[in-house]
A and B are shown apart, each in its own frame.
Chain A
Amino acid sequence: MLKCKPLIILSLMLLVCTTGIISAESLNLNVHKHVLDNGLTLLLMQREGAPVFYNQTIFNVGSANEIGGIIGAAHLLEHMMFKGTRDLGTSDWKTEHEMMVFQDSLYGYLDDLNRKRDRLMLLKDQNETEIEALDAKIALVEESLADVESQLSELVVPNELEEVYLTNGAYGYNAFTGYDQTGYIVAFPKNRMELFMAVESARLMNPVFREFYTERDVVIEERRLSVDTQGPSKLFEQLIATAFVAHPYQIFWEWKSEVVNLTRYELRGFFNTYYSPSNAVVAIVGDIDIPETIELAEKYFGDWETKQQPRLIQVDEPEQFGERRVKVEFDANPQVNIAYHKTSFDHPDNAVFPIIERLLSQGRTSRFHKNLVEGKRVALYAETFEFPWGELGAADPNVLVIDAAPKAPATASDLEEAILAEIEKLKTEPVADSELEKIKNNLHAEFVWGMYDGFGLAGRLSEAEALAGDYRYLSAMQDRLASVTADDVMRVAQQYLTEQNRTVAILEPIVKETTDEN
């Protein structure tokens, strides 16, 4: 290690030289912020490169805004935003709309009947006649539904919105539902700017929630795919559900029973509350003409009516009094998850956590890699990240998570012990100057590389603006990260990475019954 010293000095000198070229400040100078009268924020950045533009639009709403009974609304709504408008996706919107209302009432009735039936089935023998009568009703409703749905499918022009986008060269057309934010992304060749504005504004301002019930099934399949059949996700879901007892961050993925009961009407209510221009940020990065882009945005987004500002989440996660542990038995090999409660993005201590995460697990020279994967050889891997995810931090206090898999013969508890020893070291030994310097060099490099990709840049700008109310939070955050000291690391580790503040989740393989005939 000592051999590196001359290089270290050289690198530091070079770093000083370059801060003048790519500083956090230079990013600010290139962003043009424009707010429409209805409150819609545009962040526009012209830059050289291919004749294309990248868009990410953020709504300041996520699954943390759901309350019991409509868990999954933010996510299902995100899916419904792809179903078109009154022009795109239908041959006769008026008739379609009437049919959808009828379909909703039939589904509502059917759901009620099915719930009643489930209850009666608990005492099946005593309720035979009632169940029979219910089944007859259910069959009748299902018949009417099938009729309505076949008529609806005649009216729907499937995927018309996608077709318009794809034939025009849309790239990366997608969306995501976070805990604090929901994002919509797409990129186009530069000559499609007006088309993008026209279609995107129509679908964001006036979406039609067609094909609602099939999409509800799709969202449930997404849960099965991403959580139910994946051991690591099942473990993580329990970690989060255990670490948070009050704050809505406790729900890693919407529960099936909630999604299954969501109605189109509830989704419309959620949309009306949160999808307001004043609650949205549209970032566009690329080969664009800024005045022309603003003009088009005025033309197409200008009529979007401002809705009353939604109220903020007001749940404070209560203080934790003592370690929490949870076990998940699953058909998979052992895994360890540890979570510590930490601060929200705007707390002065928050800048210390990205430093700690990188000290522990970024790269081959990180402490986990050197000491757990190599060294003690107890881990296959050991990673650190924040939940809810995101390099910018979370709107409310979140958790620092360690995810690790033991390497046989080491067990989950061997690995847990080794991880906790590394955490203790943070509290008792100051970080060496060179190690802290390494982290800061990496943060600088990450910041520069963060501008390489158009989606990445549009993403960070819109997310920072939505989270902090100002995209310049990106550069302010760089300054805060750069000023973190070895003392800060030790103090924050001592204060937050404590046993009392910790939740541990362990995945244990199901012991399979062996039918040994011999």
Chain B
Amino acid sequence: MRIRTIIAAVLLLPVLFAWTTAQNIDEIEIPNLKFEIPATEVFDLDNGIKVFFYEDHSLPVVSMDMLFKTGEILVPAEKAGLAELCGEILRTGGTESIPAEEFDQRLDFVGSRLSSSCNTEAAQVSLRTLREYAEECFLLTSKMLKEPAFSQEKLDIARENKLEEIRRENDDPHTIVRREFYRMIFPDHAYGRNPSSETVESITRLDLIDFYRTTYSPERCVIALSGDLTRVDAEVMMKQYFEGWKPDKTVEMEFPYIEEEKSGLFFIQKDMNQSYFRIGHQGIGRANPERFAVEVMNQILGVGFTSRLTSRIRVEEGLAYSVGSNFYQMDSTGSFYAYCQTRGEKTAEAISLMIQEIQQLIDGGVTAEELETAKNSIINSDIFNYATPQQVAVAKASLDFYGMPPDGAEKRIEKIRGVTRKDVSRVAKRYIHPDQFTIIVVGNEELFDRPLDEFGPVTRIEL
């Protein structure tokens, strides 16, 4: 052993001497950079659709994203999965005048991508195409929206696929942790619900048609459009293809009352050498005026290498590859969670360290340096939210879609800049409650370092 030490020392010394170019990075001059979020053109269609257009001719491509206010939130529990299937079959089920196969062929042949999806409280239709096929693609998209066929055959296939996906849900521990977490913090609510084989089997073609007709509304739609079109062409094309589409009636967007979460520790036994876990509870909605302070607070707690959770769990202790926290914001509420995966033998240690770090943030607040790092990191990298033409268009359209003012993005940066240590402490105390934590653990209890009941009563969930 001694021999090895000496060799190592001898070999490393020359490297030490070879090092001459010490650069003091504090002395490097950072030139001023004035960045303004680019402006978009905005125009309205006669049916209420608002278009946000960003002109860019650097490449012969066109991108379009349509956002709709609809989603699983409007679906009764016994039809869980209807929104997702509707979003899918809107795209795959053909139109009244174009059979599904031809529809696919026309898009695929020219290398254009059109996709459609519908999640909990928003639906999206996305198009990526070369400029020369843009009109053809707008035509297909408008046919899809105006006269979708929802082919029975495509529904049958999609339903079969969904059933197979449900059968496979427990194959991946990530899926189990996520599903169980939302099921516990949003009991009996669309936010926490998952389609089952019964609900999927019950979904009929008429359900799809009814859901589409009553919830996909142009009045609740915004379009983000960018690329190689002139402003005039863009407006003419949008009007030509997306005006004149009017649904018979539209149901109101309602947010059902959210029951209190089920806190405690929920354990799922699975034979794995690593434990996956998630700790948290309900969070804040998108419109919460304190969201800026929450963003800074969460940045310090669990985003990136410099965050407290990553520093402690990964960098100092070597307990995990992936660790962090998130304040996921939805329309009326949201979720807060910290997550990690660690070797079975360190499960309790890792959970308790995570809770300890969270508690310390609540009790002790943050340092001035931490606050500066977090704020600078958010502010200085904000430019990358507008790095491609379509990002610009989507950013502007999203503000409108979520009911924010047009200068919401600039305001956000101002607000972030104004966040103080006091604000961070206040929101940490207000929005994180360790005594109400829901903890989901998937792993092999035979390996655990300590029993998990130190974190509260353990409820076992059988898969």
Residues of A within 8 A of B (CB): 1, 3-4, 7-8, 11, 14-15, 17-18, 21-22, 47-52, 82, 86-88, 97, 101-102, 104-105, 108-109, 112, 153, 158-159, 162-164, 166-172, 187, 189-192, 194-195, 198-199, 202, 206, 211, 213-222, 224-225, 228-231, 265, 268, 300, 303, 305, 331-333, 363-365, 373-374, 377, 380, 405, 407-408, 434, 437-438, 441-446, 448-449, 451-454
Contact = CB atoms under 8 A, between A and B. Distances in A.
A405 B136 CA distance: 34
A153 B272 CA distance: 32
Contacts of B187: none
Nearest to A187: B384
Contacts of A162: 304-306
A191 B318 contact: no
Given A87-B22, A438-B108, A214 B315 contact: yes
The 4 closest A-B pairs by CB, nearest first: A169-B380, A445-B111, A217-B318, A214-B318
Contact of A222 (B270, B305, B315, B321): B321
A19 to B, nearest CB: 11
B380 A167 contact: yes
A97 B164 CA distance: 56
Contacts of B112: 445
Which residue, of B20, B130, B322, has the highest number of chain A Cβ atoms within 10 A?
A: B130
Contacts of B111: 441-446
Nearest to A172: B384
A51 B33 contact: yes
Contacts of A408: 163-164, 167
A305 B163 CA distance: 59
Given A50-B383, A51-B33, A448-B130, A167 B171 contact: no
A225 B388 contact: no
A512 B7 CA distance: 53
A15 B171 CA distance: 45
Contacts, number: 260
Contacts of A15: 132
A332 B23 contact: no
A208 to B, nearest CB: 10
Interface stretch (B98-106, B204-212, B215-223): B98-106
12 contacts: A105-B2, A159-B306, A159-B311, A166-B304, A169-B377, A169-B379, A218-B320, A224-B274, A228-B273, A231-B172, A305-B18, A380-B165
Contacts of B276: 229
Interface in B297-349: 304-306, 311, 314-322, 341-343
Contact of A11 (B35, B109, B389): B109
A50 B318 contact: no
A50 B4 contact: no
B108 A14 contact: no
Contact of B133 (A14, A22, A102): A14
Nearest to B98: A3
A33 to B, nearest CB: 22
Which residue, of A50, A159, A194, has the highest number of chain B Cβ atoms within 10 A?
A: A50
Contacts of B105: 1, 4, 365
Contacts of B380: 167-169, 189
B173 to A, nearest CB: 6
Which residue, of B7, B11, B24, has the highest number of chain A Cβ atoms within 10 A?
A: B11
A88 B22 CA distance: 10
Contacts of A87: 22-25
Contacts of B12: 97, 101, 268
A229 B274 contact: yes
B23 A18 contact: no
A7 B341 contact: no
Given A162-B305, A373-B157, 7 more contacts: A14-B133, A105-B2, A167-B372, A169-B380, A189-B381, A333-B171, A380-B165
Interface in B45-73: 58-61
Interface in B181-209: none
Contacts of A169: 376-377, 379-384
A167 B305 CA distance: 12
A431 B373 CA distance: 58
A202 B304 CA distance: 22
B92 interface: yes
B31 A191 contact: yes
A213 B19 CA distance: 24
B288 interface: no
B28 A194 contact: yes
Chain A at the B interface: SS class: helix
Interface string B156-175: 01001101110110011100
B110 A445 contact: yes
B128 A170 contact: no
A167 B321 contact: no
Contacts of B15: 206
Contact of A8 (B109, B343, B386, B388): B109
B35 A51 contact: yes
Contacts of B232: none
Contacts of B383: 50-52, 169, 189
Given A214-B317, A224-B273, A373-B157, A101 B102 contact: no
B5 A217 contact: no
Interface in B262-293: 270-274, 276
Contacts of A17: 132
A97 B9 CA distance: 9
A333 B272 CA distance: 16
B73 to A, nearest CB: 27
Contacts of B389: 49
Given A14-B133, A171-B384, A363-B104, A163 B9 contact: no
B343 A191 contact: no
Contact of A22 (B16, B60, B128): B60
B388 A452 contact: yes
B368 interface: no
B311 to A, nearest CB: 6
B387 A454 contact: yes
A46 to B, nearest CB: 12
A49 B387 contact: yes
Contact of B108 (A166, A217, A230, A364): A364
A214 B304 CA distance: 18
B190 to A, nearest CB: 25
B131 to A, nearest CB: 8
Interface string B115-146: 00000000000001111110010000000000
A378 to B, nearest CB: 11
B24 to A, nearest CB: 8
Contacts of B306: 159, 162-163, 166
B387 to A, nearest CB: 5
A229 B272 contact: yes
B30 interface: yes
A40 B381 CA distance: 28
Given A101-B8, A191-B33, A445-B130, A18 B60 contact: yes
